[in-house]
Amino acid sequence: MFSPVNRAVNRAVSPSTSIVDASNMSTFAFGVMGQPAQPSVDTATYSRIFRTALARALPRKVWLDESNTINFLKAVPSKLASRVDVSLGCALSIAYLEFEATQADEMALTMKPTKPSVGSKAVNQPRYMEGLQWRGFASRWNDRAKEGEVRTPAKLDTDVNITLPRQWALFQPLERLDDMKRIVIAAHRDMDWKNALAPGLDGVRLFIVTTLIWAWNVRGHEERTQWSYLATDIVQVLRILVEQEKLRGVRDPTAATQQEGYTVVDGHKRSARKWKKSAKLRASESSR
């Protein structure tokens, strides 16, 4: 079981954030932006593409193995079969690995508080996603809480279909959003996410894992549609971030200022921890 080192140094301090009422609100205003072409990866070639993308990230990112994320992503075709568009789920997995393979700095996500209902207290949602960050849960195909059931930390929120798209929208450049914080403009490479979405154990992995677990626990046709909108948008954004990182070329080694336990880059914190190779990875390398 994944047992992380002290993770306090990898947590971003929550700044003052906008609070959005997430109840009864659709995140994607596709009547305005038009549905983009849906990305896909053929399940027949997923394993090959997966291995290639993973090889570019390992062994530099040993935590992908230690956090069970590799095995989690390997299972995407079988887990999502007959639930959602599997090819879109595969595209999401590959886009994520390609983003992790870049030289972008690893940084922790800072979740934005939203209100479950009008007049309620603002909290970080989905709570499952918050648990992945603060508790250091490994990537696992957990179940979803039923309506009216008291959610345990290992269960996905019953209202994840509302709270996860809303959380994603709050990480987007303001130019993508209308005054109701709905996504109304397609992502493009001239936009700046200002390091809000970054690689890393506590980075965009939290969105990817939660999105895929939602797909495994999807309920009904309408949720499948909303999941497809979200997954498509995440893939497009990650591909743009990869492209932007390539265009940056050689990174400025003086851009980061070291502080105790973490590094600060453009006002965001990232972990300064050094991960050791797992026994499994060392054995794999020695057999080559």
Choose among 178, 179, 164, 180: nearest CA to 233. Answer: 164
- 274 or 182: which carries more pLDDT confidence? 182
Report the chain's mean pLDDT, rounded to a whole number: 80
Q: Report if residue 2 sits inside a domain.
A: no
Choose among 5, 38, 1: nearest CA to 272. Answer: 5
Residue 46: domain span: 8-286
Cα separation, 193 vs 175, in Å, equals 11
As for how many domains the chain has, the answer is 1
Q: Indicate whether 105 pLDDT > 90.
A: yes
pLDDT of residue 28: 83
Alpha-carbon torsion, ordered 67, 245, 53, 287, to 10 deg: -70
Q: Report if residue 15 sits inside a domain.
A: yes
Q: Indicate whether 203 pLDDT > 80.
A: yes
**119-136: pLDDT as tens digits:** 778 889 999 999 997 766
- 283 or 41: which carries more pLDDT confidence? 41
**13-30: pLDDT as tens digits:** 333 344 444 444 578 875
Q: Report if residue 278 sits inside a domain.
A: yes
* Residue 258 three-state SS: strand
Q: Report if residue 30 sits inside a domain.
A: yes
pLDDT of residue 136: 66
Q: Report if residue 198 sits inside a domain.
A: yes
pTM of this structure: 0.79
Q: Report if residue 28 sits inside a domain.
A: yes
Q: Residue 217, class by beta-carbon neighbours within 10 Å (0-12 exposed, 13-18 middle, 19+ buried)?
A: buried
